[in-house]
Amino acid sequence: MLWRSSFLTAVVPLCFASPIFPRWDDLEVKHAWSSVPRNWISVGLPPNGTTIDLRIALKPHREDALVGALYEVSDPAHEKYGAHLSKEEVATLVAPHPDTVELVHAWLGHHGVPASSIRPSYNGGWLTITSLPASQADALLGASYQVYRHTETDETLLRTVEYSLPVDLHAHVALVAPTTYFGGPRALHRTSRLTPTAKHLLAGALDDPPESPTTVSSSCAGMIVPSCLQALYNTGSYTPTATDQNTLGITGYLQENASQADLTLFLSKLMPDAATADFTVVSVAGGTNDQNNPTLEASLDIQYAESLAFPTPTIFYTTGGSPPFQADENTPANTNEPYLDWLDFILAQSDIPQTISTSYGDDEQTVPPDYAQTVCSLFAQLGAQGVSVLFSSGDTGVGDDCVSNDGLNTPMFLPNFPATCPYITAVGGTTGVNPETAAGLSSGGFSNYFARPSYQDTAVSNFISGLGTQFSGLYNASGRGFPDISAQAENFIIVIGQEPFLAEGTSCAAPTVSAIVSLLNDYLISQGKSPLGFLNPLLYSTGAAGLNDITSGSNPGCNTDGFSAVEGWDPVTGLGTPDFGKLQAIVG
């Protein structure tokens, strides 16, 4: 099967012959916003002595080699299916040409950047410069770094609204960060929210939950507990056995804290056989996990991942570098990039969980295209190594604040990133039982940055044909469609601070599907087979028969009814919800 590049931007041939006399003062804009992103205001230049850590993404020698290899090992019809790459093999595929490295080092040397402050990262495809004076970063990038404050959250960032590179470097450098990625009030936002419900009713549900993991109780229509999901998605009769090899990873940002005491109470009430479960905490970039301050997102993710995948070992990655940010005289603003901090860490590891769930995202248009494309390629590195990476699709239907941010205010649906990255699996939301229907909050649509990947050509084309001219001009019909799959996303009982709450959002769906994928990986590993890795080529081919098609409901937004769930793929529930038993038979 042939696969095509997933970026809308044209592939620029790399010119590897270094210019004999490069002109470092001949600058060309790499990315610029038309104005300061909405809700951000400049509060002035950073104080003298302010430093910043810069990351420079170098373009690989063979630009399509990584994606080509990813699809080979992920396509069930390919002879290399399941033959995932080692960390070293991936590093070879993403390695820049020696001319690129030489030219970039010459540029840095011209601007007085000491070699001792430069280190390679991300399998050698990036250079990280530590403690660079902000004034020197300005000169290096033709930029104007300033301290920006968000008018609603008071978060501060050290950013520039524009940066440039010498013309001779554009064919060699994919991205410099942090530069123009501001994020916003929903940057890495939690895709779940508490529902006002009388706590005494929830307490009663905790004390008298549905017992059968094989029969869907009528109570599941209004309140979800782990046994509801086991019955809905046919996992109740499976017990993991490859627990010495298979691991499930959960990522956390925004100072989210997962409580072991809350997990124990949750499981003792709802899954007593799993009440001994615990999780490992791994700190990334100064991330913490305060046991005295449990929070919604981490509680939801850990409690449902653990309950469905038990006794599979679970790792909670807590990543720092996100608001609230405490300034000091040398670091007046947040200069970190949480996605990049976590990816830098995880790609350096020799042992990575086979399944990783993330419940955060941004409006795609708030993420600079070069940033989105380069970060997406890093997720492709994980997929090539046999890691299934899943993201919640978001909770805003087809969007809110539905205009472009390019100064033209063009009406448009707003897709979410990283859900639009073609190398991850995006998880939408459903609600109700017998039958399940689309949850109105389930974000879905079409990317404006990434072209439709070939693995979903048929499925997405069928949907667009049926849509006709409805919503014409509000979405990109040639873009990557999302979500890919879905699961329950409303009325989840969770425990926070030893008290019960109800939660909703595709943050409920992502750990649910991730746990089911982890069970599939456990089964494969127990049979001496490779884990699933990047899921989408499987889901859009033979795996579709293992999904429950959702054919009713919609995802309203932007003053419209949104897209409708239909037979086959749709941008509300994707291909449907998982049936573990059927998928087990398909992959086994």
d(CA 397, CA 389): 22
What is the secondary structure of 296-353 as a DSSP string? HHHHHHHHHHHHHHTTS-EEEEEE-S-SS----SS--SB---HHHHHHHHHHT-SS--
Look at residues 352, 342, 348, 293 and name the one whose alpha carbon lies nearest to residue 320. Answer: 342
Tokens of 89: 């093999």
Q: Which residues contact 191 (CB under 8 A, 6 or more apart)?
A: 359, 360, 361, 392, 393, 394, 395, 505, 506, 507, 510
Q: Which of 357, 507, 514, 554 is catalytic?
A: 507
Query: Cβ(49)–Cβ(134) under 8 Å?
Result: no
Q: Which of 75, 256, 301, 490 is catalytic?
A: 301
Question: How far, CA to CA in Å, does 220 sit from each of 181, 217, 523?
Answer: 41, 6, 27
Q: Which of 63, 138, 262, 297 is catalytic?
A: 297
**Has 79 been annotated as catalytic?**
no
Q: Is the peptide bond before 537 cis (omega within 30 degrees of 0)?
A: no
d(CA 250, CA 419): 16
**Has 297 been annotated as catalytic?**
yes
- Strand, helix or coil for residue 536: helix
Q: Which amino acid, 16?
A: F
**Has 507 been annotated as catalytic?**
yes
Query: Cβ(568)–Cβ(104) under 8 Å?
Result: no
DSSP state of 108: H
**HSE (CB half, 13 Å, CA atoms) of 177?**
24
b vs e for 142-173, b when ≥16 Cβ sit within 10 Å of the residue's Cβ?
bbebbbbbbeeeebbbbbbbbbbbbebbbebb
Q: Which amino acid, 50?
A: T
Question: How far, CA to CA in Å, does 522 sit from each of 66, 247, 262, 353, 584?
Answer: 26, 9, 26, 11, 10
For the annotated catalytic residues, the residue numbers are 297, 301, 507
